[in-house]
A and B are shown apart, each in its own frame.
Chain A
Amino acid sequence: MVKRDMPMLAILLLLVLAGCAVPQQQTSLGFVPITGRDKIIVMRPDIAVDILTTGGMLERREDWTITARENVIASLVAIQARRGAARRITITRTAPAADDAILTELNKLHEVVGQSVMLHKFSPSVLPTKQGVFDWTLGELAVKYGQQTGHDYALFLYARDSFSSGGRLALQAVGFLSCAVGVCATQSGGSQTAFASLVDLKTGELVWFNYVYSNEGDIRTQEGADVLVSRLLDTMSEDEGGRT
């Protein structure tokens, strides 16, 4: 059995991001706004929805995850229709003309790089070497992918959502009551963590990044997914009009 690293990550994020519900946007220096001629590919979003157990473990829920992924894809398609840009969304894991291994690795790499951006750029203790710069990249792999598919940019989206189990809710209630006797044993509830990156497939660099951390929201519903996707991506549409 492998260890799941999500619970640790969730704890870490709770520590560093507690209270940040306002989306932040970060672009690299010298980002040239995308024009209508650029071909953008929207990668299959990496989505998972979990139950937060009484003991604080995250337990994957297959049905919720499938629904949430469909919802997020539908939100992306709706945005695409509104904007009318030359975009394509890969609904399946395999994009035409790209080899499977590259696609899997790219998605995995984006997850790790995105988490690193959140930790080292947006946490209270920004790395000294990352102050005033935004120089993350998916490297040669992304360039190779661009050459294989003929796209200029790739948009990646990663989202994790979680909800308290019945037991967890009961414990939260007792924990809340305990404040009445002076010892607050409060228990955290479910939360939402998501980030999106726009990657320049000519250089592999992340040219735009945005994240959402929230104690609210529910991507199991279409409205919830729409809210998340627009909070993540709406700031990018401003970029398209002018420089940030």
Chain B
Amino acid sequence: MKTRRQFILGAGGCAACMSGLAHSRVLSTDLYPLVDVGYEPLDADERGMWQAMQQIEETIQASPQRLNNPELEAYTGGIMEQIIGRETPDLRLYLIRSALFNASMFPTGMMVVNTGLLARVRNEAQLAAVIGHEAGHYYRKHSIERYRSLRTRTAAMNWFSTAASVGAGVESMSNYGSGSNWIYAASMINTAVTMSVFQFSRNQEEEADAYGISLMARSGYSLDAASKIWAQLIEERKASAAERNNRYSDRSKSALSTHPPTEDRMKDLADTARYLAGKSDQPASDRRAEWLAAITPHRAMLLDEQIRLNDPGASLYLLQSLAQDGWNGLLRYNEGEVYRLRGETGDREKAAGAYAAATAFPDAPADAWRAHGYALLKAGKVEDGRYALNHYLEMNPDAKDAGVVRFTMAQ
């Protein structure tokens, strides 16, 4: 295993010397859209791909996992128009309920953004950076390009294997040799071709990053937002790993990764941001106030999804970064939930402390009063516990568990 990894790394290093650059960055100034509004594919392979994707889009439209929220859809759609600089009938953005940090682009102009991404970005500029990156995949026709490259490469690989089989057969018949050199040679070539598939994908990601940031530069968003997303993600993953007593390792450093290493992306985006900001005299804004106004009504749902992942390191990191604006009842309640779900020694007390702190804020959710009440009862503070549970019922008279809570209070 070790020798193989060294071989791969060696090959990567060698490819880099040949190109004369350890790492070459795509220049955002070189990129222009390859498709316009109203684009319809003409080639048979692309038409087939669109047809298959349209079926997937129908499924996503009807999916129960879709977040059907007109305000958020209008808001994110507005960011898309802002960053593209015109109305965008060619792009369709779907919000999907998934707590994982991700967004994706389909060849037909369908963009999918996870709620897990909304939970993590800190301002409108950061979301615009992601949308810009995904739009880059669309306007640079990455899906069909990648498919065609894969089709060519898999065809070549199949020819190499077949030719090697024939060669091996001829050799073993004529010389009574084993023919294994043929098979070995073909497998070496095919390994190299396979690696190049991943390199191709990483190059596209770099191009999409560059495209996205150039869109941001034109639409007045602060350019450092793009690299900050990755800085936050690395910090979050370190916190998550530390909590589980693991060392943080970036999976995208692998030669089999479809995306470039996270740190490289962060640094490239920061460099490009400095370069572009130097050229522009436009005022730039991260539009944080607009972001907070749009996302705050949905914060409880977003935090709930994250906390149910039971990834305490990541969840606490997220809560603490949100609390940089000041703790509130919702954040404290969710902090308590993280401890409750983690369930290690001392976590019950930590959770109780967090619930108590939550109820001191005017925005404490009803569930915080419920959790606080039960924690007090467990600690033997019967009167205070009953008061808190009563407060819960007052706030949420139609609660599904109202009967159970009343029963507890009557004990």
Question: Does B293 reach chain A (CB closer than 8 Å)?
Answer: no
Interface size on B, residues (CB 8 A): 43
Interface residues of A in 98-112 (CB under 8 A from B): 100-102, 104-105, 108
Chain A, residue nearest B151 (CB): A53
Name the B residues within 8 Å of A104 (CB-CB): 58-59, 61-62
Residue from A50, A55, A61, A62 within 8 A of B155 (CB atoms):
A55
CA of A57 to CA of B317, assembled, Å: 43
CB–CB B173/A182 < 8 A: yes
Please give the distance in Å from B58's CB to the nearest CB on chain A.
5
17 cross-chain CB contacts under 8 A: A1-B104, A1-B107, A1-B143, A53-B151, A54-B158, A60-B49, A62-B47, A62-B50, A65-B48, A105-B64, A167-B155, A178-B165, A181-B170, A182-B169, A183-B165, A183-B166, A183-B169
CB–CB A178/B58 < 8 A: no
Name the A residues within 8 Å of B150 (CB-CB): 55, 57
Please give the distance in Å from B54's CB to the nearest CB on chain A.
10
CA of A184 to CA of B163, assembled, Å: 11
Please give the distance in Å from B39's CB to the nearest CB on chain A.
16
CB–CB B151/A59 < 8 A: yes
CB–CB B162/A187 < 8 A: yes
Question: Does B223 reach chain A (CB closer than 8 Å)?
Answer: no
Question: Does B146 reach chain A (CB closer than 8 Å)?
Answer: yes
Please give the distance in Å from B163's CB to the nearest CB on chain A.
8
Residue from A62, A93, A171 within 8 A of B159 (CB atoms):
A171
Name the B residues within 8 Å of A59 (CB-CB): 45, 48-49, 151
Name the A residues within 8 Å of B159 (CB-CB): 54, 171
Known: A104-B61, A167-B155. A178 touches B162 (CB 8 A): yes
Name the B residues within 8 Å of A65 (CB-CB): 48, 51
Question: Does B157 reach chain A (CB closer than 8 Å)?
Answer: yes
Question: Which DSSP category, helix, strand, loop or mixed, fits chain A's interface?
Answer: mixed
Name the B residues within 8 Å of A37 (CB-CB): none
Name the B residues within 8 Å of A55 (CB-CB): 150-151, 153-158
Please give the distance in Å from B369's CB to the nearest CB on chain A.
35
CA of A171 to CA of B155, assembled, Å: 9
Interface size on A, residues (CB 8 A): 35
CA of A171 to CA of B161, assembled, Å: 11
Question: Does B168 reach chain A (CB closer than 8 Å)?
Answer: yes
Q: A101-B62, A185-B162 are in contact. List 9 more A-B contacts (CB 8 A).
A: A1-B107, A1-B146, A53-B151, A56-B158, A59-B49, A65-B48, A104-B62, A178-B162, A181-B170
Please give the distance in Å from A180's CB to the nearest CB on chain B.
8
Name the B residues within 8 Å of A60 (CB-CB): 48-49, 51-52
CB–CB A181/B166 < 8 A: yes
Question: Does B24 reach chain A (CB closer than 8 Å)?
Answer: no
CA of A4 to CA of B59, assembled, Å: 14
CA of A104 to CA of B165, assembled, Å: 46
Chain B, residue nearest A1 (CB): B143
Interface residues of B in 49-84 (CB under 8 A from A): 49-52, 56, 58-59, 61-64
CA of A181 to CA of B137, assembled, Å: 47
CB–CB A171/B166 < 8 A: no
Name the A residues within 8 Å of B106 (CB-CB): 1-2
Name the A residues within 8 Å of B56 (CB-CB): 2
CA of A188 to CA of B158, assembled, Å: 12
Chain A, residue nearest B45 (CB): A59
Please give the distance in Å from B164's CB to the nearest CB on chain A.
8
CB–CB B151/A177 < 8 A: no
